[in-house]
Amino acid sequence: MKTPRVGFVTAVEIGTACIDAIAHLGGHLDLVVTLAEDTDPAKSGRADVAAVAGAYDFPLVTVAHINDPGALMAIQQADLDWLFVIGWSQIVGPDVLSSPKRGAIGAHPTLLPKGRGRAPIPWTILKGLEESGVTFFIMDEGVDTGMIIGQDRFNVDADETATTLYAKVIDSHRRLIRRVWEMILADEVRGEPQDDAYATIWPKRTPADGEIHATMTVAEASRLVRATTRPYPGAFIKGPTGRITIWAGQTEQRPATTSSLPVELGDGTFWATDYESRD
């Protein structure tokens, strides 16, 4: 059987972890597509995809948008069987989706059909979920609606932060892409339809949604801080001299360190232990 031709679209660390995993299996990518350096430079989890592609001698194309004519031409000229699109926030248009002969494979860090949509890592913490995972699916023109080809599950701890959850999501992607890569090589990729009766859709979040309000409880503020910490923009309060971004804190009692910052809330005090002022 002819070795399938595979491409990969990504701009973030989750994607480069998958590329590493493929390379360590002895796999080859016939095309890697990433964002130009000046396009969305503040994107959370942004990675140096060019360096990773170069390390394995995978051909690289940089684009401003995945649906631009140049991007479409590069994908079509690569004559792909499969195209992975992982860690990419732009909506992929029908011309790109139909370019690979077998299909495009997307990934989403929830157990689809639950948690379709945006900001899945922060929402997982904000919603207090005890379990989550990663889903690989065959992309269609909907948002996270395609047929599921594999899932990997993991526990979400009560004190989980976006940083620790992001690391779990990366590890989950690594495990799952190894399985999916073997499916591709064996020509055994099979999809199962999602049950829309169980679907939930999580809305987009913006940096402004990270504001801690005085009416919040200590538990709510703590959850918001944990959900929006690095690699995301962080929770914040508005101080007398400007915004104060809070990356970590505690709820029990005043920390021993004298540099902790008290944030007075509806039912008590949240103590910020890692924070920075921005005028």
Is residue 132 included in any domain, yes or no? yes
Asked if the structure places residue 76 within a domain, the reply is yes
Question: Per the domain annotation, does 11 fall within a domain?
Answer: yes
Crossing angle, helix 13-24 and helix 162-185, to 10 degrees?
A: 40
Within-domain flag for 231:
yes
Do 63 and 33 contact (CB within 8 A), yes or no?
A: yes
Residue 252 reports pLDDT greater than 90: no
Q: How far apart are CA 156 and CA 161, in angstroms?
A: 9
- Report the amino acid identity of residue 67: N
179/182 Cα distance (integer angstroms): 5
Mean pLDDT for 155-161 is 97
**Claim to verify: residue 274 and residue 180 sit in the same structural domain:** no
Q: In angstroms, rounded to a whole number, what is the distance separating the alpha carbons of residues 212 and 228? A: 11
Could you tell me the two tokens for 110?
């929830």
Phi/psi for 61 (5° steps) reads: -130, 135
Is the pLDDT assigned to residue 278 strictly greater than 80? no
Average pLDDT over residues 83-91: 94
The pLDDT of residue 31 is 98
Q: Does one domain contain both 118 and 156?
A: yes
- The domain boundary residue, chosen from 140, 169, 201: 201
Kindly tell me the sign of the dihedral angle through the C-alpha atoms of 225, 199, 167, 37: negative
In a domain, 226, yes or no: yes
Which residue is it, tokens 């809330």? 265
**Domains contained in the chain, number:** 2
Q: For residue 1, is it within any domain? A: no
- Number of neighbours of residue 171 by Cβ within 10 angstroms: 14
On whether both 193 and 229 belong to a single domain, the answer is no
142 in the same domain as 53 = yes
- Token pair, residue 58, equals 């995978």
Do residues 34 and 95 share a domain? yes
Residue 41 clears pLDDT 80, i.e. is over it: no
pLDDT of amino acid 58: 98
232 and 140 fall within a common domain: no
Q: What share of the chain is helix, strand, coil (3-state, %, to 5)?
A: 30, 30, 45
Q: What tokens appear for 274 in the block?
A: 């890692």
Q: Which two tokens stand for residue 57?
A: 């001698």
Helix (H, G, I), strand (E, B) or coil at 187: coil
Which band of pLDDT confidence, cut at 50, 70 and 90, is reported for residue 49?
Answer: very high
Same domain, 226 and 274: yes
Could you tell me what percent of the chain has a pLDDT over 70? 97
Q: Give the type of residue at 27.
A: G
For tokens 């001698």, what's the residue? 57
CA atoms within 13 A on the CB side of 48: 4
3-state secondary structure of 9: strand
Q: Which of 154, 184, 201 is the last residue of a domain?
A: 201
Domain boundary pick from 150, 176, 201: 201
pLDDT at 43: 78
Helix axes 218-228, 162-185, angle to 10 degrees: 40
CATH of the domain at 250: 3.10.25.10
Mean pLDDT of 194-205: 96
Q: Are residues 21 and 159 in the same domain?
A: yes
Residues 11 and 134 in one domain: yes
156 and 219: one domain?
A: no
DSSP 254: -
* Confidence at residue 257, expressed as pLDDT on a 0 to 100 scale: 64
Q: Residue 162 domain-assigned?
A: yes
Question: What is residue 209's predicted lDDT score, i.e. its pLDDT?
Answer: 96
Name the percent of the chain lying above pLDDT 90.
89
- pLDDT at residue 96, rounded to an integer: 97
CA atoms within 13 A on the CB side of 44: 19
Beta-carbon contacts of residue 129 (< 8 Å; ≥ 6 apart): 156
Q: In angstroms, rounded to a whole number, what is the distance separating the alpha carbons of residues 20 and 56?
A: 9
191, 220: one domain: no
DSSP state of 267: T
Average pLDDT score over the chain: 94
* Whether residue 279 has pLDDT greater than 70: no
> Residue 81: inside a domain, yes or no?
yes
Question: What per-residue confidence (pLDDT) applies to 44?
Answer: 80
Domain interval for residue 261:
207-278
CATH number, position 79:
3.40.50.170
Q: Does 89 lie in the same domain as 27? A: yes
The pTM of the full predicted model, rounded to 2 decimals, is 0.93
Q: Looking only at Cα atoms, what is the longest distance across the chain? A: 68
**pLDDT-based confidence at 259, cuts 50/70/90?**
confident
